Amino acid sequence: MEAVGKGRAKVSLRRRPEFFRPGGVLQGGCAMTLADVTCWIAIMSLFGEDDPSVTQQMTTSFLGPARTDLVCESTIVRPGRLIVYGTADTTDTAGKLVSHHTLTYVRPPERKVA
């Protein structure tokens, strides 16, 4: 984790040999997982570490090959009571945008313990 602010987060992922596909390109799931975790941290910055939000939907657009460490920055666009909407951009170490993500999370209502 590199930075956290209100409704924002920045997280990096170091490249590892097992993350690469043939041709020297990082597997796309690396960017997707990084975006999901980064957005989740941004949600916790608003609602606390015990927030029960879970990913409902994620859309990823791959914009270029990733061959280096990755850095993802996420912003919560709409922090709703039941639905949270955010975006995330993943870049390589040169700052080149390699993927853009939109994420929707559901915040389940608290269960009352009997």
| CATH number of the structural domain spanning residue 50 | 3.10.129.10
Query: What pTM did the predictor assign?
Result: 0.92
For residue 114, what pLDDT is reported? 67
For the chain, the average pLDDT equals: 95
Number of domains in the chain: 1
Structural domain range at position 39? 3-106
Domain membership flag for residue 81: yes
Pairing between β-strand 54-62 and β-strand 97-106 as defined by DSSP bridges: antiparallel
Task: Inform me whether the pLDDT recorded for 31 exceeds 70.
Answer: yes
* 64 contacts 45 by C-beta, under 8 angstroms: no
Model confidence at 51, pLDDT cuts 50, 70, 90, reads: very high
For residue 110, what pLDDT is reported? 75
